[in-house]
Chain A
Amino acid sequence: MAAYVIRRLLSVIPITVGVMFITFFVFRVVGGNPAYRIAGKNATPARIAQISRERGYDKPLFLNFHQFPSHLLDAQFPQLCGNLLRLDFGQSVVTRERVGTMLREGVGPSLCVTTPLFVIELVLGVGLALLAAYYRNTWIDRGLVVFSVMGMSVSTLVYIMLAQYWLASQWRLFPVWGFESPRYLILPVLVGTIAGVGGELRFYRTVMLDEMYQEYVRTARAKGVSSRRILFHHVLRNALIPILTNVIVAIPFLYTGALLLENFFGIPGLGRLTVMALFNFDDDVVFATTFIGSVLFVLFNALTDIAYTWADPRIRLQ
């Protein structure tokens, strides 16, 4: 088991390097020298050369063969990896702030939105899925499924617009925009829940129904166990494994923030930060958010696998 855990955790490294490689490839190789984009359309060659020198864009991309072997790693990609490893995220092109500081400032507002959203969606999703599974193949079940699919068929953007227009602007129930007091969080969380709960319900319902058709349910029924007891004591406990998996995998997204909600409701979180960075060609910020997002994602995936083997002894360690 220990060997498996270590091996699984070590697998985080190559994946993260791969992620950084893709991001780097898209931004620096396909996108070309960022100095041109930073300097703008009317830049002089001298200005571009200056930016390139300052930010190290004039170095070779992957390996420095000009000064082989002493400065082989004196190139953009190895240095980026080295910096990220030391948690040195560099400096924003736009605000001249340290990226580390920007991230620290953004994580609070992001968590303020995503955590309540996550908890409410989970509770509602599992609760309604239990209801649907209990009344499966009746109109309650079908109604819930149809409603969840209908909810998923409207763009989140439309929910946001309608909520801002009706609830905030016309009826003045909530503030339209901003991040000042908990009152400002109600609308984003409400909209996020409405937009997201359909998918959750559908997923958890499938999980429950998968369990419903297992042999042990039939055995329990044959023994005369009541439907309710089967659902809550037999099915729910077994369904907890996929539910937990889903929950653990979703945790990293709490950190990366809710991109649309943050942008529309003016919440200064990480989602907003990332989008702004992407538009301003602020590549240090993009690399940092991608790096942290993917490390968390891979790490939590590894944890899920480990938790899985621990929770379900039938799964063989490889």
Chain B
Amino acid sequence: MSAFLQDVYGIDRSRSPEGLWNIAWRQLRRNRLAMCCLAILCVYTATWLYAEGIFWTAKIRGTVPDYKISHYEIRNGPPSPSHPLGTNFAGRDNLKQLIQGTRIAFELGLLTSIVVIPLGFVLGALAGYFGGKLDSAIVYLFSVVASVPDILLIMSITYVTRAAVERSAAMQSVTRYIDAGLLSICVGMGFTGWVGLCRIIRGEYLKHRERQYVLAARSLGVSHGAIIFRHIMPNVAHLIIINFSLRFPGLILTEVVLSYLGIGIASEPSWGTIINDAKQRLWLGNWWELGGATVAMFFLVLALNLFGDALRDALDPKLRIAEARTG
């Protein structure tokens, strides 16, 4: 049999079987577009880390970081060798602002995920695995959240959180490092964004709990907790990453809208605040400020969207079979 497999299909039985991630990586590597996107994402990640470095160095030294110092004598300056993207209304370098905007965008994605992933995953897993009344309760919960007009709920939660954060003395130590506006946006988007992940995870757990390996684990006396987290979770964990990469661009775009509505980030230059500040300058003919922010955002969102799609195609075996079937 083994020799037959090797002869006909080129499958070598002596090698250990390839995992989902290996196969997915091989497929991704063949996809030139996905690899370009990955390269772009790497550049952005490097920029983010660089920006974090600048931010934290200034924080630790207790100095005002470079990107925040105003030079009113050179405000609204056009692009020049020393300021490749010109300067803004306070004479700050636009490029430095954009680099910090990258940091804010990544922090936004990560902080929101701190709310979304545990909430969506645990609720989805519990609902799908146990079913019954618990399932009904959780389904009710996410149906309710999904039924509130999205932007309205984000805005209200953000607004109210912002007020609560600014009032509370305990949060002072946190808001010294993370902008209060950023924090409240993340809470707002987190408590609305978990529904999508929860739905997907619930569906997967519903399927997996009927599988043989779960039955085997049950009959060996493995506890429910261990089955949920140790047996089933590795089979569905890739969905979290896909969900993240497809949700991230939405977060960045929503942040711009929130900033426009005036409930955005207050003391740090995010892409949203840059675009909104640039709005007035566009009428003076200063296109480079808006252009820079748009381009910076464009490539990250584009790369995330395309890479997320490719990742989903690579990690979802069902889709792969469908593609292969018609060749």
Interface residues of chain A, those whose CB is within 8 Å of chain B, are 14-16, 18-19, 21-23, 26-27, 30-31, 146, 149-150, 152-158, 161, 165, 169, 210, 212-213, 218, 253, 256, 259-260, 263, 274-275, 278-279, 286, 289-290, 293-294, 297-298, 301
Contacts and interface: CB of A to CB of B under 8 A. Distances in A.
B275 A278 contact: no
Interface string B127-144: 000000000000011011
Interface string B227-260: 0000000000000000000000100010011001
Describe A's contact surface by its main secondary structure.
Answer: helix
Given A260-B257, A260-B260, A157 B302 contact: no
A26 B160 contact: yes
Interface residues on B, range: 35 or more
B306 A149 contact: yes
Chain A CB within 10 A, most for which of B144, B306, B325: B144
Contacts of A155: 253, 256-257, 275, 294, 297
Interface string B288-303: 0010001001110110
Contacts of B157: 26
A286 B302 contact: no
A155 B282 CA distance: 16
A260 B56 CA distance: 35
Contacts of A260: 257, 260
Contacts of A158: 275, 290, 294
Given A26-B156, A31-B160, A31-B163, A18 B149 contact: no
B41 interface: no
A210 B322 CA distance: 9
A212 B155 contact: no
B262 interface: yes
Contacts of B149: 253, 256, 289-290, 293-294, 297
B156 A153 contact: no
B161 to A, nearest CB: 8
Contacts of B298: 150, 153-154
A60 to B, nearest CB: 20
A22 B257 contact: no
Describe B's contact surface by its main secondary structure.
Answer: helix
A301 B306 CA distance: 30
A153 B301 contact: yes
Interface in B155-188: 155-157, 159-161, 163-164
A311 to B, nearest CB: 22
Nearest to B146: A297
A169 B279 CA distance: 14
B156 A286 contact: yes
Contacts of B4: none
B315 to A, nearest CB: 16
A278 B145 contact: no
Contacts of B282: 161, 165
Contacts of B153: 22, 26
B156 A27 contact: yes
Interface string B260-296: 1110000000000001100100110000001000100
B290 A23 contact: no
Contacts of A274: 152
A15 B143 contact: yes
Nearest to B164: A30
Contact of B140 (A15, A146, A154, A256): A15
A278 B253 CA distance: 21
A19 B302 contact: no
Contact of B147 (A19, A153, A154): A19
A290 B152 CA distance: 8
A169 B159 CA distance: 34
10 contacts: A14-B140, A15-B140, A16-B147, A22-B148, A26-B160, A153-B249, A157-B260, A158-B275, A298-B147, A301-B147
B301 A213 contact: no
A15 B148 CA distance: 10
Contacts of A298: 143, 147
A259 B151 contact: yes
Contacts of B155: 275, 278
A305 to B, nearest CB: 12
B325 A150 contact: no
A153 B147 CA distance: 26
A31 B260 CA distance: 22
Contacts of B256: 155, 157
A19 B192 CA distance: 13
A263 B258 CA distance: 13
Contacts of B262: 279
Contacts of B261: 263, 275
A252 to B, nearest CB: 9
A149 B302 contact: yes
A153 B302 contact: yes
B170 to A, nearest CB: 16
Contact of B279 (A153, A161, A290): A161
Contacts of B148: 19, 22-23, 290, 293-294
B44 to A, nearest CB: 13
